[in-house]
Amino acid sequence: MKLTKLHDIWAAGKPAVNGWCSIPSTVTAEMMSLNDFDSLTIDLQHGLVDYQTALTMLQAMNASGITPLARVPWNEPGIIMKLLDAGALGIICPMVNTPEEAQQFVSTMRYAPNGSRSSGPTRAAMIHGANYHFEADDALVSLAMVETVEALENVEKIAATEGLSGIYIGPSDLAVSMGYAPGLDRKEDDVDAAIGRILAACKASGIKAAIHCLSPEYLKSAHARGFDLATLGSDIRLFDMSIKSQISLARS
C-alpha cells in the first residue's frame, strides 16, 4: 500500500498534522501537498468541492506521498465508496451521533465478510497496488465525527465500534450544539470538558483521537494533550489570513 505517511507517523507513536482542502482546485491541492503535512483532507461537506473535482485533487496530491483523506457530505454509502475507489485512504464522516450510525459507517468502509463495501476500486487499485482489495480493510482510516450533544452522550459506545479507526472532533458544531456561537479553538470550560471526555473515550477503546484546530498554538496543545491527529485550519483560512496580513503590512 502506498501513500501511508500518516500510518507511518502513527506506527512511530507520533502525532500527525493534517491539512484541509476546501478550495476546488488542483493547483491549491498541489500547493498544500508540497508542504510538510502528514495527511491532507479534501472537504466535500463544507468545502466547495464536488466528486469530480475531488478526483482531480487526489491526482494532484499523489506525487507528494502524503496520505489522502476525504470528508464526505454525510454518512451515505455511495459517496464514501466512490471516494475510496478514487484513491482516498481514509474518510472523515460528519454527524455520527449513535453507535448504530458508527456501525453503518464502518460497514461501508470494509469489504465482505467484514462489511458491505462494493468491490470495484477503479483508481485505488492502480495507485495502491494489486493487493488493494486484501489490504484495504486494515489500511483505510475511518474517523467518525463527534460534534453534537447526542453524540457526546453516546461517545463511549461510538468509540467501542469494532473496526472504527478513531473519532474526529468538530469543535465548532459541538459548541453550537451546547449553546455557543460557532468557532474553533474552544476555551469554554464545559466544551473543553466535553473534548476531554471524547479524548478519554478514544484512549479507553484504543482508537485514534483527532480534532480540528485553527491556530498552531492550539494544535500543539492538542498534541500535548494526547490527540493523535490535529488539523491546521484550512486552505481558505490560511489563504485569507496571509492576504490580510500582507495587505495590512502594505497599508501600514
**105-123: average pLDDT:** 98
Output the pTM of the full model: 0.97
CA torsion, points 123, 126, 132, 133, in degrees to nearest 10? 60
Domain boundaries, the chain: 5-251
φ/ψ of residue 160, rounded to 5: -85, 0
The 3-state DSSP composition of the chain as helix, strand, coil percent (nearest 5) reads 50, 15, 35
User: pLDDT for 167-226, tens place per residue?
Assistant: 999 999 999 999 999 999 999 999 999 999 999 999 999 999 999 999 999 999 999 999
Q: From CA 41, how far away is CA 37, in angstroms rounded?
A: 10
User: Positive or negative CA dihedral for 159, 161, 163, 168?
Assistant: negative
Q: Which residues contact 246 (CB under 8 A, 6 or more apart)?
A: none
Q: What is the pLDDT of residues 7-59, one digit of tens each?
A: 999 999 999 999 999 999 999 999 999 999 999 999 999 999 999 999 999 99
What is the pLDDT at residue 1?
82
Residue 132's CB is within 10 A of a number of other CB atoms, namely: 19
* Each residue's pLDDT tens digit, 78-94: 999 999 999 999 999 99
Task: State the cell numbers at 17.
Answer: 498534522
Query: Residue 237 has what pLDDT?
Result: 96
**What value does the mean pLDDT take over residues 62-71?**
96
Residue 2 has pLDDT above 90, yes or no: no
Assigned CATH class of 5-251: alpha beta
From the candidates 46, 128, 133, 223, give the one annotated as an active-site residue.
Answer: 46
pLDDT in tens, 228-238: 999 999 999 99
Phi, psi of 66 (to 5 degrees): -75, 145
223 is catalytic: no
